[in-house]
Amino acid sequence: MTTQGDQILDRSLSKVGGKGLFLKELEVALEESRADLAVHSLKDVPMDLPVRFVLAGVMEREDPRDAWVSPHFARLEDLPQGAVVGTSSLRRTVLLKARRPDLRIEPLRGNLDTRLRKLDEGQYAGIILAAAGLKRLGLSQRIRHIFSTQQMLPAAGQGALGLEVRSDRIDLIQALSFLVHQPTWLTVAAERAVSRAMGGSCSMPLAAHAELLGDRLSLRAAWGDPEGAPRLLVAHMEGAVRTLTEAEDLGLRVADQLKAQGAH
């Protein structure tokens, strides 16, 4: 299905209704029983679903990191002063400005083929994409460098797939339970809780990434002002997490750390 988010390519998502534009047509199909479930890239799913829909589960995560794609430059550090980098993500914009304030950040929208074509036409010196999307579509060879999570902190839910169903489809929720990857669900629940507490929209220049080691969850988040100085506010916390509620509580405390530093 082609959604509004796929069709509107000349403006950033933050200016035309947010990432919920990727869900609307799919949710209508669910409501009208033309579809039983919708599969989403979780970072495109709003923090709060309409009451008649629910996440039946989260599948095992692919690589959550960001990838550098460029025909001529092996790494971001190789770019000359003032080079043009393509991304429409406010998160990536503030992280890039913190690393290389000299660069020109230009909007980049469209599906992966469209974005790669614009790069190959010479509109950008390089672009930043989710590594997961490139790997899932068999385009790993286009990746020149994968940023560590310390270099480019990922978006909440990046690399994970969410299964959305109508909330009254208990039968379907039970049938899909074998696809659920609980460690991934715990990590993305913490990440999404940070985003929800901070406002939860794609106009939020926010990064959040969690890692689970045993029953201890380590959660890092970063916030920057896209219009202000290239300074990042960073928060980190870890704790024992066994349930989604405990994961979300950890996310709320990390959001409080960001707010205490002046994030809004």
Summarised one tens digit per residue, pLDDT across range 137-155 is: 999 999 999 999 999 999 9
Q: Does domain 66-146 have CATH number 3.40.190.10?
A: yes
Q: Which of 6, 10, 36, 44 is the catalytic position?
A: 44
| Burial label, 123 (beta-carbon count in 10 A; 0-12, 13-18, 19+) | middle
44 included as an active-site residue: yes
Backbone angles phi, psi at 156, to 5 degrees: -55, 125
Q: What is the pLDDT of residue 16?
A: 47
Q: Report the pLDDT averaged over residues 242-246.
A: 96
Lowest mean pLDDT, pick from 48-62, 83-97, 178-192, 226-240 = 226-240
User: For the chain, what is the mean pLDDT?
Assistant: 89
Q: What is the pLDDT of residue 110?
A: 80
Q: Is the pLDDT of residue 8 over 60?
A: no
Question: pLDDT class for 229, splitting at 50, 70, 90?
Answer: low
Q: Is the pLDDT of residue 123 over 70?
A: yes
> Which position has the higher pLDDT, 13 or 59?
59
Q: Report the pLDDT averaged over residues 188-209.
A: 87
**Domain spans of the chain, in order of start:** 4-62+156-261, 66-146
The Cα 160–Cα 260 span in angstroms is 29
Name the pTM for this structure. 0.87
Characterize the bridge pairing of strands 104-106 and 84-86: parallel
Question: pLDDT class for 46, splitting at 50, 70, 90?
Answer: confident
Q: 4-62+156-261 — its CATH code?
A: 3.30.160.40
Q: Report the pLDDT averaged over residues 203-218.
A: 92
Q: Is the pLDDT of residue 101 over 70?
A: yes
Distances 114 to 21, 107, 179, 222 between C-alpha atoms, Å: 18, 13, 31, 29
Q: Is the pLDDT of residue 231 over 50?
A: yes
Q: Is the pLDDT of residue 23 over 90?
A: no
Structure tokens at 103: 């660069």
Among candidate residues 109, 103, 72, 58, the one with its CA nearest the CA of residue 87: 109
